[in-house]
Amino acid sequence: MLWRIFASVTFGKLLFIPSYRSTDFEVHRNWLAITHSLPLNKWYIDDTSQWTLDYPPLFAWFEYILSWGALLFDPEMLKVNNLNYASQNTILFQRISVILTDIVYALGVQKCLYSFGNNQGGKVQKDAEKWFSSSTILAFLLLCNVGLFMVDHIHFQYNGFLTGILLLSVGSILQKENLKAAFWFSILLNLKHIYLYIAPVYAVYLLRSYCFDIQKSKMTFHFKRLIKLGVIVVTTFGFTYGPFVSQLQQVLSRLFPFENRGLCHAYWAPNFWALYNIVDKILAFLGHKLGWIDPLSKVTASMTGGLVQEFEHAILPSIGPKTTLVFTILAILPAVVILLKQPNQPRVFIRAIVLCAFASFLFGWHVHEKAILIVITPLTLLAVSSQEDCRLFMLLSITGHVSLFPLLFTPFENVLKIVVVLTYSLASYSFLSALHYDPKSKGTLLKFRSWERFFLYGLGFVALFESCIHSMVDPSGRLPFLPLMIMSVYCAVGIIYVWFSFVIGSLKTEKKISKQK
Amino acid sequence: MEVPYKLEVIALTTIIIKLGASVFPYSGKNQPPKFGDYEAQRHWMEITVNLPIQDWYRNTTDNDLLYWGLDYPPLTAYQSYLTGSVAKKINQDYVKLHVSQGFENFDHQYFMRMSVLVSDCIFFVSALYFYIRSLKMSNKYKWVFFALSSHSGLTLIDYGHFQYNCVSLGLTLWAIIFVSQGKNVLAAIAFSAALNFKQMELYHAILLFAGFYLLASCQPKGSSLPSQLKNLVQIGAATVVTFAIIWYPFLQIHDWLLQQVIVRLFIPFQRGIFEDYVANFWCTLNVVIKIKRLLNPTSIASGTIT
């Protein structure tokens, strides 16, 4: 069933090959060119194009392997000087590379499906063949995830491939293959360092559940296991960074460009800092209007500012990277708590990943809105097994996917994004309702709380405002960042609400279990 | 496990696939001087918006019938007029007389594709949705039926090649829905409209008119002759009135106008027994017996009708 769904979705993806591509397309073409045409020691130094290599070396190797395929399609794309080169064959090659690497995603889903679909091992295979079993619904929710579709196959990135490796790692944990999990996660970290967001979870879990062992109420520390983990991590990092040991500082400065990036991206990710920014703007605006602030002072409240990378707050204290780190660490604590108190339970591990990804998304420095996908994916795994998590998943996926709307702004994609998000949300709602709430016998569908329903109605309006209404009401574009700001702030409210509910839910179950003990 | 909203999800999925087809090129893209069906539809918008109604089907200095002359019945012309008026409001260049010939532009492609999508949703998708919902079959497989009926052939022709078959097919489907609900007058109106949108619906006409008229006039079962006659008269009247309303502008202006329109509609008879690569009997026979060379067009036409 999984592969049938995958095949269908793949055909669908092929249809969108000619659609809009963002600058990320040129970014990856440039990386194909650099890795193919330049020697190793120039990869992290070359800056012919403004889109310099800023992913870890293993991804650079990945692009290098791809570049040999590129030769068959159009060798011209591999010339470093061919900036913005986009022939038909280039587009075809790059799009197909994303579509094909999604096979890794399917393999990751398969690994997770094995443990999540059904707890009775033998029944899994049979169940997976049925049309509407929990494993096929999980397969559908993951493989057809509309956020991945919009970001990978239209905007252009390789998140499907990366999420696949994440799922291989998570799936290994689910099957208690801890060493494999560590291996896959190290690979993942060496492909895209954004996954540092959830590294603490791995560290705590593997130390607590794998290295420490509780048998007959005696805790033993397995030093050997720690060594094994260490070897895996060190070897992977060694192979990846080894060839670049002489330029390590240059590589790291490319990976972590703190000097050039501000608190928020040009489009504020819908996180805590977006709310912080808007409160700051409102206070400054009120301050000027009500005369609290001396008009001659340097305090400004530009309501149209959206391109500013460096952020100096007007009234509230300015936030630096260290502050965000402190907030993030505080927010990660619930994850650490549940991991320490309930060791060796894969489902708790997944909860911890969600909590940790949430924390990094909400309080991190210069977060991209695409990072919401790192929260949504593990939450999908929980959605098929728990009614409470299912409701939170629906809220988060709808809000998160709508928050990605500003990425696709061209005419066709404007219509497309509404239709695909609507379809995916309705389909998820349908399938999850059928799974958890038997419509026939109990006559109920998945129900949202009344304030949640109002939030969703409002979200619909915000989505329409961003895609069509704003351009009709303000054709001259006097306030170009208004819809983005509204979108960002509104979605931030929803996402923080889901996070809060999820934290409380996680700590409650933890309390329940510890009470039972 | 009973899954709610199956039909709605499938309907939305077919729309996604149609949007997917929309991003690809259309027939005749970047191929001057004649381009393709896309240019034909755009040209009809240009003609209907800019010229008076009596010139729509006539060969004049402003309307060169050899360059994609109108050869569909008046309802298509009215639809082109409506769409063309919207086009004019968005961007005059889309339909400027003469100047806009061969106009190709990304925004224009977006506009044209959306016009197909809107027409499709109003006429075809709605008809299919209501039809399947009304079927007395197990809910389990209705969505399969829906998916199959939104078939790729229609998507390719309407959203790819570029045409508006969804309107005439949708209207025919509505006629069938009305027949199944016993609303004969509405059915007659719907099918007459379909026929007046595209004369290709004549393929369905024989069955619908002959079978429908005869059967409908016998409904309800066991009713007396006067009420059966009343039924038949109602259906006939509905059909005639629909035709009259649609053809009204062409009936009154000049005597030759009606004849001219009919000649344009049945111009295929001048083109020959088959065209290009149609997968039918005559084309296949032509491989062995060169029919096209043996007989002249008009005698073939009378031969095929008999």
Q: CA angle, A313 as apex, A309 and A315 as ends, to 5°?
A: 165
Contacts of A422 in chain B (CB under 8 A): 12
For chain B, the first-to-last Cα distance in angstroms comes to: 55
Q: What is the DSSP string of A349-391?
A: HHHHHHHHHHHHHHH-SSB-GGGHHHHHHHHHHHHTT-HHHHH
Q: What is the pLDDT of chain A when averaged over all its residues?
A: 86
Do residue A419 and residue B4 have CB atoms under 8 angstroms apart? no
What is the rounded distance in angstroms from the CA atom of residue A172 to the CA atom of residue A346?
Answer: 9
Contact A419 B21 (CB under 8 A): no
Strands A218-221 and A212-215: antiparallel
pLDDT value at position B147?
81
DSSP B15-30: HHHHHHHHTS--TTTT
Q: What is the mean pLDDT of residues B115-138?
A: 87
CA nearest B140 in A: which residue?
A131
Using CA coordinates, name the residue in chain A closest to B20. Answer: A15
**Cα–Cα distance, B274 to B288 (Å, whole number):** 15
Instruction: Test B4 with A415 for CB contact under 8 angstroms.
Output: no
Mean pLDDT along residues B268-285: 71
State pLDDT tens for residues B186-226.
888 998 899 889 888 888 887 777 766 666 666 666 667 77
Mean pLDDT rounded to a whole number for chain B: 81
Contacts of B113 in chain A (CB under 8 A): 412
| Mean pLDDT of all residues in A391-398 | 95
- Residue-wise pLDDT for B226-262, tens only, equals 777 788 888 888 888 998 898 888 877 666 777 778 8
The span from the first CA to the last CA of chain A, in angstroms, equals 40
How is residue A484 written in tokens?
């983005």
User: Which residues in chain B have their CB less than 8 angstroms from residue A411's CB?
Assistant: 106-107, 110
Specify the DSSP class assigned to residue A255. Answer: H
Residue type, B293: R
CB contact under 8 A, A15 and B12: no
Estimate the crossing angle of helix A178-191 against helix A57-73, to 10 degrees.
70
Query: What are the beta bridge partners of residue A219?
Result: A214
Residues 115-174 of A with CB under 8 A from B: 132-133
pTM: predicted TM-score of the whole model, two decimal places: 0.89
DSSP secondary structure code for residue A264 in this structure: B
The verdict on a CB contact (< 8 Å) between A422 and B12 is: yes
Confidence label for A307 from pLDDT (cuts 50, 70 and 90): very low
Facing residue for A16 by CB, picked from B6, B15, B23: B23
Q: Of B180, B143, B162, B178, which Cα lies nearest the Cα of B7?
A: B143
Sole residue written with tokens 């340097």:
A298
Shortest CB distance from A415 goes to which of B3, B19, B107?
A: B19
Choosing among B8, B19, B125, which should be mutated to test the A contact, i.e. which has the most A CBs within 10 A?
Answer: B19
- Partner B contacted by A431 (CB < 8 A): yes
The Cα angle at residue B53 between residues B50 and B56, in degrees rounded to 5? 75
User: pLDDT for A196-213, tens place per residue?
Assistant: 989 999 999 988 888 877
Banded pLDDT at B78 (limits 50, 70, 90): very high
- pLDDT digits 0-9 by tens, B263-274: 788 776 666 666
Number of Cβ within a 10 Å radius of residue A260: 8
pLDDT at site A308: 46
Q: Best residue in A413, A426, A432, A472 to probe B by mutation, most B CBs within 10 Å?
A: A426
**Residue in the structure block whose two tokens are 């088959």:** B274
| Nearest in space to A390 (alpha carbons), one of A217, A180, A137 | A137
Residue of B nearest to A411 (CA): B110
> Which one has a higher pLDDT value, A93 or B283?
A93
Phi, psi of A150 (to 5 degrees): -65, -40
Cα(A18)–Cα(A461) distance, integer angstroms: 29
Percent of all residues in chain A with a pLDDT value above 70, rounded to a whole number? 88
Cβ–Cβ of B4/A433 closer than 8 Å?
yes
Bridge partners, A220 (sequence order): A213
Backbone angles phi, psi at B36, to 5 degrees: -150, -160
Summarised one tens digit per residue, pLDDT across range A172-190 is: 999 888 899 999 999 999 9
A141, A431, A445, A471, best to mutate vs chain B, most B CBs in 10 Å: A431
Q: Stretch A345-349: mean pLDDT, rounded?
A: 87
Tokens linked to A476? 């001259």
Name the band, by pLDDT with cuts 50, 70 and 90, for residue A130. low
Q: Contacts of residue B21 in chain A, CB cutoff 8 Å? A: 15
Q: How many whole angstroms separate alpha carbon A424 and alpha carbon B15?
A: 13
> Does the distance separating the beta carbons of B4 and A445 come in below 8 Å?
yes
Residue pLDDT, tens place only, A469-484: 887 777 777 777 888 8
| Preferred mutation among B3, B108, B114 to probe A, highest tally of A CBs within 10 A | B3
**Chain B residues touching residue A433 (CB < 8 angstroms):** 3-4
Q: Give the model confidence (pLDDT) of A248-296 as tens digits.
A: 888 888 888 766 677 787 788 999 999 998 898 888 888 888 777 665 5
**C-alpha radius of gyration, chain B, whole number:** 21
CB contact under 8 A, B16 and A426: no
SS3 category, A213? strand
Using a CB-CB cut-off of 8 Å, the residues of chain A touching B4 are: 430, 433-434, 439, 445
pLDDT at B302: 56
Q: Closest CB to A430: pick one of B5, B106, B110.
A: B5
What is the arithmetic mean of pLDDT over B43-58?
87
- Cβ-nearest to A431 among B3, B21, B113: B3
Residues of chain B in contact with residue A427, where contact means CB-CB under 8 angstroms, are: 9
Query: Are A159 and A370 contacting, i.e. CB atoms less than 8 angstroms apart?
Result: yes
* CB atoms inside a 10 Å sphere around CB A474: 13
**Chain A positions in Cβ-Cβ contact with residue B152 (cut-off 8 Å):** none
Q: What is the mean pLDDT of residues B267-288?
A: 72
Note if the bond before A295 is cis, omega within 30 degrees: no
Q: Give burial (CB, 10 Å; 0-12/13-18/19+) of A201.
A: buried
A430: contact with B, CB 8 A cutoff: yes
The span from the CA of B303 to the CA of B297, in Å, is 10
Answer whether B15 sits within 8 Å of A420, measured CB to CB: no
Per-residue pLDDT at A118 exceeds 70 = no
CA A32 from chain center: how many Å? 24
Residues from chain A contacting residue B3 (CB–CB below 8 Å): 132, 430-431, 433-434
> Does pLDDT of B300 surpass 60?
no
pLDDT on residue A116? 66
Give the gap in angstroms from C-alpha A416 to the nearest C-alpha of chain B: 7
Name the minimum distance, in Å, from the CA of B1 to any CA of chain A: 6
Residue contact A412–B5, C-beta within 8 A:
no
Question: A92 CB near a chain B CB, below 8 Å?
Answer: no
What pLDDT band is residue A160 in, cutting at 50, 70 and 90?
very high
Of the candidates A18, A420, A427, which has its C-beta nearest B24's C-beta?
A18
Q: Tell me if residue A214 falls in helix, strand or coil.
A: strand
Q: Residue A119 above 50 pLDDT? A: no
The answer to whether the CB atoms of A12 and B24 lie below 8 A apart is: no
Helix A272-289 and helix A482-516: axis angle, to 10°?
130
Both tokens of A130, joined, read 């049925």
Instruction: Using alpha carbons, list the distances in angstroms from residue B82 to A357, B48, B115, B120.
Output: 52, 9, 10, 15
* pLDDT, mean of residues B282-302: 67
Give percent of chain B above pLDDT 90.
10
- Coil, helix or strand at residue A263: coil
pLDDT of residue A303: 41
Over range A446-452, report the average pLDDT. Answer: 87
